Amino acid sequence: QAQLVESGGGLVQPGGSLRLACAASGRTLSMSGMGWFRQAPGKEREFVAGIGWNTGMTNYADSVKGRFTISRDNAKNTVYLQVNSLKPEHTAVYYCALGVGTYYGPSAVRYNYWGQGTQVTVSS
């Protein structure tokens, strides 16, 4: 069993930045793929970014490339999502998820543990 807890969300003005964190307990993340997803009101959950067990292995949705950065600190059992140049359309609940095995791609069904989410609201 793994428990994932996200933090770092909040209200931010357009153009601002946040650093989201996902802390895991119950199992080590060091050999697992991890992903970040988001769900905006009235929309389906969508993939944002993924990272493999090796920090050099990353995967981003086209809509966030160059704007968001995923990273991980295996010693702290934590995965991060740096979100920059935020826009109102980035408003959503952001979820982290633990991939099955080493998976870190965009398919939500290949993640078997999810956090409760952290709200990001971009508004002036």
Give pLDDT, residue 55. 66
From 24-28, 106-110, 118-122, the region with the lowest mean pLDDT? 24-28
Distance CA 105, CA 108 (A): 8
Paired residues of 114 in beta bridges: 97
What's the helix, strand, coil split of the chain in %, to 5? 10, 50, 40
55-98 pLDDT, tens digit each = 679 999 999 999 999 999 988 999 999 999 999 999 999 999 99
12 band by pLDDT with thresholds 50, 70 and 90? very high
118 contacts 91 by C-beta, under 8 angstroms: no
Region 17-29 average pLDDT = 90
The closest of 54, 50, 66, 56 to 103, measured between CA atoms, is 50
Q: Report the half-sphere exposure of 75 (CA within 13 A, side-chain side).
A: 0
Q: What percent of the chain has pLDDT over 90?
A: 83
Helix (H, G, I), strand (E, B) or coil at 56: coil
